[in-house]
Amino acid sequence: MNRWEELEVAEIPNDGGQLRLMKRADEYAIRIAGRGELMNSRTHGSEDALGRLACKPYANHAAARVLVGGLGMGFTLATTLESLAPSAVVVVAELVPGVVDWNRRYLGDYAGQPLRDPRVQVEVGDVGHLIKKGKGRYHAILLDVDNGPEGLTHDTNDDLYSLVGLQSAYNALTEDGTLAVWSASPAPRFVGALRKVGFDVAEHKVRAHAGKGARHLIWLATRTD
């Protein structure tokens, strides 16, 4: 049996720990040191679903502008691009520079090289900063940051999912905009917070891989102006 090999380590900014890029045969994984696997190149069904579900309402919108928080292995970005018009703009924010580098050097073929799409703008940094600056700017904001509202990797992600952070997301959306959030596990208090801010919330349960594996959650939160 093939064993996992560590290829590279990337530092998470602001003392957030380390990410490890692992390979076994033709399979890749990204792990956080001491806490286990965050993502795998073979199990991305729910990441695919995040892009498709969030962008479906804007598929024919020539000027759609979408913000993707968290590049990961590129699967959500890929399905976001597949779901939008050729004239759309997709901004992808990734906190860890090493993850962007890994996508370009190791992982790109698995998701169809989405970073090469001319519609993509890469921002290395905190997606929360872009949200705060983007009043009325985005038709959709997709958050696949950490493991969801009850994350593992970075304490500052708590701000992103707080009432203040959700209000910033609400303000950054167009009047018919959608905030889509991926999570590895249920978070009832988070759903309550979305509604308190003013979102209409729909919950989708999706499998990790081709109808099998762990059940993940995607919340679609729509502005109710």
The residues, any chain, with a CB within 8 Å of residue 131's CB and separated by 6 or more, are 67, 69, 141, 160, 165, 168, 169, 172
Return per-residue pLDDT of the chain as tens, 225 residues: 789 999 999 999 988 889 999 999 999 999 997 778 999 999 999 999 999 999 999 999 999 999 999 999 999 999 999 999 999 999 999 999 999 999 999 999 999 999 999 999 999 999 999 999 999 999 999 998 877 786 534 455 568 899 999 999 999 999 999 999 999 888 889 999 999 999 999 999 998 776 677 889 999 999 987
Query: And the tokens for 128?
Result: 């929360």
Residue (of 221, 199, 211, 191) closest to 53 by Cα position: 221
Burial of 201 (0-12, 13-18, 19+ CB in 10 A): middle
Q: What is the pLDDT of residue 184?
A: 85
Helix (H) or strand (E) holding 101, with range, is helix 97-102
pLDDT at 14: 83
Domain ranges of the chain: 42-223
Q: What angle do CA 124, 129, 133 make, to 5 degrees?
A: 120
**Cβ(178)–Cβ(169) below 8 Å:** no
CATH superfamily membership of 42-223: Vaccinia Virus protein VP39 (3.40.50.150)
- pLDDT for 2 equals 87
Could you tell me the two tokens for 192? 């309550």
* 3-class state of residue 132 by DSSP: helix
Q: What's the pLDDT at 124?
A: 98
DSSP, collapsed to helix, strand or coil, labels residue 108 as helix
Gap between the Cα atoms of 113 and 105, Å rounded: 10
- pLDDT (0 to 100) of residue 152: 39
pTM of the model: 0.94
